Structure 1
Amino acid sequence: MSRSGSVGVMLPRDLPPSRVLPFARRADELGFDELWLVEDLGFRGGVAQAAAVLAATERVRVGIGLLPVGARNAAFAAMEVATLAQLFPGRVDVGIGHGMPAWMRSVGEWPASPLGLLEEYLRAVTALVRGESVGPGEYVRLDGVRLEPACVPDEPPPVLAGVRGPRSLALSGRVADGTILAEPTTPEYARAALAHVDAGRPHRLVGYNAAAVHRDASEALATVRGGLEWIGEPDWAPHLAPLPFAAEFAALRRECGSREEFARRLPEEWVRQLAVTGTAEEAKARLAELFEAGVDSVVLIPIGPDPREAVERLAAVL
């Protein structure tokens, strides 16, 4: 563990298959506390990646972000998660979320009540991995389902909610063991999210951020812009609303004809606030600000043409 919180790294979703396990092993060797995996439509499955990475590494904690509720029956999701937790005790975190609306609609799985389904799903998976029986709900229709005693992990894995908006954050505070905030997680956004979470009990906050570190700060800033292309789109609005330049940010995106142009025109001051970047010392200072704002685990998304080289440079913050 790092001094003030955990520092994790994201396994890029589009790595060639031959580079996935070497990347995971290197992250483990470099000393990152956590390694988070992506389950995005059309890329690789989260559970399969997690099993392979856990088997290939010795120490690092592995998080799945995110399993969309519409993709799997809650009982079978719990079976997968419990299996990982039994085989690799104390090393598994599971993130569950709505899923990107456009993706879920494209596979016919966007529910009539996203909040209702997410709450019942989180409650069901959490109960099942703890060995409890789950009955039918309005959206998750299980009939007295439970895991066999021999298949209940001694150390149930934390179940976190990957959410953005105020009502979903409040739901996470009621139901989940923690909350995962997608990139960009700024100190302002973390504080605003925690105000909605208001768990009143131990609740872990995980925040993703695009990241690039270089001994030449200008080189790092130029590199990390590539990881900020998407954040001007409407789904990212909750991340930007707490920032003092939110209105100017939205205006810039409207002016730009493409995401690439938008990322290129972002003022340097904004880039520094929307990513973990600069020299190693500058990046460490940003991590300290995030921990001070209430983020327990900062997950760095390596940006650059060579992910292996990028993660080596990010290790300078550890």
Structure 2
Amino acid sequence: MAAALGVVLPPDLPSELFRAYARRADELGLDELWVFEDCFLRGGIAQASVALSITSRIRVGVGILPAGARNVAFASLDISTLAELFPGRLMVGIGHGMPVWMRQVGAWPASPVTLLEEYIAALRSILAGRRTTVDGRYVTVRDVELHRPPDIAPPVFAGVRGPKSLAASGRVADGTILAEPTTPEYLRSARAHIGVGGETHEIVAYNVGAVHDSAPVARDRARRGLQWIGEKDWAPHLAGLPFAAELTELRARAGDREEFARRLPDEWVDQLAVVGTPAQVGERLAVLAEAGAQHLVLNLAGPDPLDSLDALGRVLQR
């Protein structure tokens, strides 16, 4: 199967642009639109419901809902409602959530991997229409059964990055969401930890994206989206890259994230983002698909969100 191409609906997009962005992604022929649930911006389920209702064909993914923030039975009600009303168009990601945010709201468990594994297994069982009983360390439900399960149960992805979490995803999820930057090296490493072949377990690969007729302009735009990759949480994404140690050293020397991003060499940006002219972006997407990603999702960088979408549309035209 050809890899699906999608975009992130920016979580901080002004309300007057939210609907316009979703509709434009649909009109351009993109396969997928993914919404973030970042604290404390917008809720993932609420965004997905609006995006599904104002578009006609594009699939909408929620990536991700933190497992510790919602009772699994009540989460299944929201998810199954959307899956019933928009059959075949919903995808759901479940993850740990950012530790600092989860601790801020008192929802960080002693064993995040155990919670995630119990949660996804229970959620998939409920969405499949089975009467579900779980007596786990964190998830406890008894005889939970949807009155009207969706005809098409949405795929449930685990949004994770650590080796133990990736292995758990391979055991219980339909697929895995990999946060940006997702390089071919990181894809291969993650697949080894997941331990399940692509026929049964699909990979959603997020990347910062920037398309422009001038590759230098595209790189400058992408740098703004790469400010965070020098932080320690992003180390797994960089481990297989030949310049990983140099990047870590650069971040240590740089005064702040903005300076770090400005000083990223062009050749590093080309590896850490999907960036360049329409032809260059198309080539990079093909490389990522060949490395094992079934869903290629770009978090577009640029001064005008709709113009950035239109530029990506030129890649589709090719």
- So what's the TM-score if we normalise by structure 2? 0.97
Q: 2-side partners of 1:257 and 1:142: how far apart? A: 49
Q: Does 1:176 align with 2:173?
A: yes
Out of 88-97 and 236-245, give the one that drifted further. Answer: 236-245
Residue 142 of structure 1 corresponds to which residue in structure 2?
Answer: 141
Residue 153 of structure 1 corresponds to which residue in structure 2?
Answer: 150
Residue 210 of structure 2 corresponds to which residue in structure 1?
Answer: 212
Unmatched 5+ stretches in structure 2: none
Q: Does 1:261 align with 2:259?
A: yes
Partner AA of 1:251 in structure 2:
E
- So what's the TM-score if we normalise by structure 1? 0.97
Residue 12 of structure 1 corresponds to which residue in structure 2?
Answer: 10
Residue 162 of structure 1 corresponds to which residue in structure 2?
Answer: 159
**Is residue 4–residue 288 contact of structure 1 (8 Å, CA) maintained in 2?**
no
Q: 1-side partners of 2:155 and 2:301: how far apart? A: 28
Aligned residues: 314
Map 1:54-203 to 2 at 5 A: 54-135=52-133, 136-148=135-147, 151-200=148-197, 202-203=200-201
Q: 1-side partners of 2:24 and 2:181: how far apart? A: 25
Partner AA of 1:157 in structure 2:
P
* 1:272 Cα deviation from its structure 2 partner: 0.3
Partner AA of 2:178 in structure 1:
L
1:139-159 superposed Cα distances (whole Å, 9 cap, x missing partner) = 1011221211xx200110000
Q: 1:271 aligns with which of 269, 272, 276?
A: 269
Partner AA of 2:284 in structure 1:
R
Percent same amino acid at aligned positions? 59
Q: Secondary structure of 1:15's match?
A: coil
Partner AA of 1:166 in structure 2:
P
Alpha-carbon RMSD: 0.9
Partner AA of 1:22 in structure 2:
A
Q: 1-side partners of 2:218 and 2:98: how far apart? A: 29
Q: 1:298 aligns with which of 288, 296, 299?
A: 296
* 1:222 Cα deviation from its structure 2 partner: 1.1
Partner AA of 1:163 in structure 2:
V
Q: Secondary structure of 1:144's match?
A: strand
Q: 2-side partners of 1:195 and 1:128: how far apart? A: 29
1:170-203 superposed Cα distances (whole Å, 9 cap, x missing partner) = 1101100000000001011001101111125611
* 1:123 Cα deviation from its structure 2 partner: 0.4
Following TM superposition, the consecutive aligned residue runs of length 4 or more in structure 1 with deviations greater than 3 angstroms are none
* 1:168 Cα deviation from its structure 2 partner: 0.5
Q: Secondary structure of 1:50's match?
A: helix
Q: 2-side partners of 1:137 and 1:208: how far apart? A: 32
Partner AA of 1:137 in structure 2:
G
Q: Does 1:41 align with 2:39?
A: yes
1:245-299 superposed Cα distances (whole Å, 9 cap, x missing partner) = 1111111111111000000000100000000001000001100110010000110
Out of 288-297 and 308-317, give the one that drifted further. Answer: 308-317
**Is residue 232–residue 250 contact of structure 1 (8 Å, CA) maintained in 2?**
yes
Unmatched 5+ stretches in structure 1: none
Partner AA of 2:196 in structure 1:
A
